[in-house]
Amino acid sequence: GYAGGGIFCASVKTALIENVSFEHNGTPYVPSDDAELMGAAEAGHGGAICLWQSKGTNIVIRKCQFSLNGAHDSGGAVYMYNADDISIESCSFGENESALGGAIAAVRSDASIRKCIFDNNYADNRGGGMFFADTMDGEIANCLFRTNTAYYAGGGINISNAGPDVVNCVFLHNEVTSDSPVTNWKQMQAGGGINVDAGASATVRNCLFRNNAAYYGGALWCYNTSSIVVDSCIFTGNSA
């Protein structure tokens, strides 16, 4: 298969995935020209779960464990594209890996992620824990991001052209590992905890950032944003 190593859902109206363990699932590398010929734009996404083109839905992922899953492109554990009303709650994500969103990638999707733990996930581009893009909706609340790593930006979370609320979250020891000077702003080496860029409009409220690191913005990096609110947060021991 090409997407959703464990589960692939397309145009699904209602789904409940609860108390399920996803381990060692993955998606292969598919050259972009081959994906286009196959009509498989979803190829390479969602190591464990891929939610594709599901508008007007009610999809709940609850009390699941995701470990050691990988996607060649986006969403090492979970990928969602053009999907509404996605709820991910009380789940754990450990040692998942992809290029964008080591654990979760949400693109053009209205997603609510609550009470989840993101531990030691990796993205070799952006969003070690999570990659959020191209939507002004969404919420990330009461989550722990710990020891997640991205090579270019957003060790914990990368937010690009998106506007989720990040509320009551804790960011501990997340890191962006590239330490070379910027030569291309698309490869920023920035935002150990959170990277916010590309016209994003984010709210970060009641969050703790401790001992995160990056070349720019050890805890939080903001670039080319339309607006950002940082309210009632604590920053301690972060480094750049």
> What is the mean predicted confidence (pLDDT) over 51-58?
80
Distance of alpha carbon 198 from alpha carbon 144, whole angstroms: 25
Question: The whole model's pTM is what?
Answer: 0.92
With contact defined as beta carbons under 8 Å apart, do 111 and 143 qualify?
no
Q: Are strands 220-223 and 21-23 parallel, antiparallel or unpaired?
A: unpaired
pLDDT tens for 182-209 read: 555 555 789 999 999 888 888 999 999 9
pLDDT tens for 106-117 read: 999 999 999 999
